[in-house]
């Protein structure tokens, strides 16, 4: 029969092992959350890239019918931001599952080919390949291009970079009379207390096709 001291020593021994296992599990979870999730997104981006290349056509310069939008979760286009070295494929939708695949287009905002309105795109900053990690480095005047498979490329010039509390950040999705773009992501890094916002004005779009006589 073990003495009380023996029981205490044994309990401390197993408690120490449990703490080590718990720490290892927490460490593994953090590593997976910050870096491992990127494997999921990398595979999705590769698939979306193949889809983009196979679907891309010479721009017909004729927008789709009003109200048309891609199926949620499907390929929406490509976002290119040279100032931060970003090339990422965008999906339709900003729900949790869609954002695992890459930046997502807010479904209730405008499309690049619309003559008016604000295009809204959200993206992760610290997980799932963190496409918007360096969004805070953008400055007014930097360019952002949205490439589509059928309707050409649309270029925007950054107008503002700012931060809002999460509770009121949704106001940046309000539509505008001129064609504009807004990008949103979490702020500060590794937190979702705020939203980092980038707004931009459209500076170029495909030339409309001439009307058929």
Residue 182 or 72, more confident: 182
The rounded distance, in Å, linking the Cα atoms of 86 and 43 is 17
Q: Is residue 147 part of a domain?
A: yes
When divided into structural domains, the chain yields a total of 1
Predicted pLDDT of residue 99: 95
- Report, in angstroms and rounded to the nearest whole number, the Rg of the chain calculated over CA atoms: 23
Q: Is residue 117 part of a domain?
A: yes
Q: Is residue 48 part of a domain?
A: no
Q: What is the pLDDT of residues 118-132, one digit of tens each?
A: 999 999 999 999 999
Which of helix, strand or coil describes residue 153? strand
At 135, which CATH number? 2.40.260.10
Predicted pLDDT of residue 7: 54
Q: How many CB atoms lie within 10 A of CB 105?
A: 26
Burial of 182 (0-12, 13-18, 19+ CB in 10 A): buried
Q: Is residue 44 part of a domain?
A: no
pLDDT at 60 over 50: yes
The rounded distance, in Å, linking the Cα atoms of 80 and 83 is 9
Q: Which domain holds residue 116?
A: 53-204
Q: Is residue 19 part of a domain?
A: no
């Amino acid at each position: 029969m073990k003495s009380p001291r023996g029981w205490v020593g044994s309990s401390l021994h197993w408690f120490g092992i449990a703490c080590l296992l718990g720490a290892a599990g927490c460490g593994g979870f953090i590593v997976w959350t910050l870096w491992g999730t990127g494997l999921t997104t990398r595979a999705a981006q590769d698939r979306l890239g193949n889809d983009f290349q196979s679907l891309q056509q010479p721009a017909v310069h004729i927008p789709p019918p009003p109200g048309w939008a891609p199926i949620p979760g499907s390929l929406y286009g490509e976002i290119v931001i040279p100032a931060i070295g970003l090339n990422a494929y965008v999906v339709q939708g900003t729900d949790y599952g869609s954002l695992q695949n890459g930046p997502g287009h807010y479904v209730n905002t405008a499309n690049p080919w619309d003559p008016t309105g604000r295009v809204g795109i959200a993206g992760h900053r610290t997980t799932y390949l963190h496409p918007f990690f360096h969004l805070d480095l953008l400055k007014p005047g930097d360019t952002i291009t949205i490439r589509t498979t059928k309707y050409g490329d649309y270029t925007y010039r950054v107008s503002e970079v700012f931060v809002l509390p999460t509770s009121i950040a949704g106001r940046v999705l309000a539509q505008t009379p001129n064609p504009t773009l807004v990008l949103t992501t979490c702020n500060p890094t590794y937190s979702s207390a705020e939203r980092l916002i980038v707004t931009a004005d459209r500076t170029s779009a495909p030339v409309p096709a001439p009307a058929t006589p």
